Structures are given as structure tokens and as C-alpha cells.
Amino acid sequence: MADEKRLQELGQKLIKAAYDYWQEFQEVHSPRAVVWLEDTSGHFILFTRGEYKEQIINNAFGLDSRPILDHPFESE
């Protein structure tokens, strides 16, 4: 499945870039558990530690919704 492999590669790049930004943000500003970016087109990325995952997903999609990603990829 070439499409799945491509999604995995792109997703890993996105997570790495977000983590690099989060680390730099900690150096420039005071430490934060949650950092987000938004551009003028309305695109939005929220980056945080994994301990907040369940609460964020439940708030965004509700308790009875289907998982966003049925099989998360492994990080490198």
C-alpha cells in the first residue's frame, strides 16, 4: 500500500516539525504543555504531550465516535 506508506512518511515529518517547534518555543517563551499554530487561512495545529490525547479527542469528537486513525504509525 504505497498510499499508506506515503501518509506515514508525511505524518512523521509533521510530528517531527511540530516537536522541533515545541522545543524551540520552550526556549524562547516559558514552558507550555500545549502549543498551537494557526495561519491566516484558518489551518490549525495543536501540539502537546501524549497524556492529553484522550481528553482532546473526546472533546473534539465525542465519546462514541470512530477513532481518527485506526492504526497509528510508529515513530522513528
- Binned at pLDDT 50, 70 and 90, residue 67 comes out as low
Q: What is the pLDDT of residues 21-30, one digit of tens each?
A: 999 999 999 8
| Pairing assessment for the beta strands 34-38 and 44-48 based on DSSP bridges | antiparallel
Higher-scoring residue by pLDDT: 63, 25 = 25
For residue 65, pLDDT over 80 is answered with no
Q: What is the pLDDT of residues 30-51, one digit of tens each?
A: 888 889 999 999 999 999 888 8
Q: Name the grid cell of 17.
A: 516539525
Contact 34, 52 (CB under 8 A): yes
Q: Name the grid cell of 30.
A: 516559558
pTM of the model as a whole? 0.71
Question: What's the pLDDT at 7?
Answer: 86
Q: How far apart are CA 54 and CA 63, in angstroms?
A: 10
Q: Name the grid cell of 2.
A: 504505497
Q: For residue 15, with 0-12 CB atoms within 10 Å meaning exposed, 13-18 middle and 19 or more buried, which class applies? A: middle
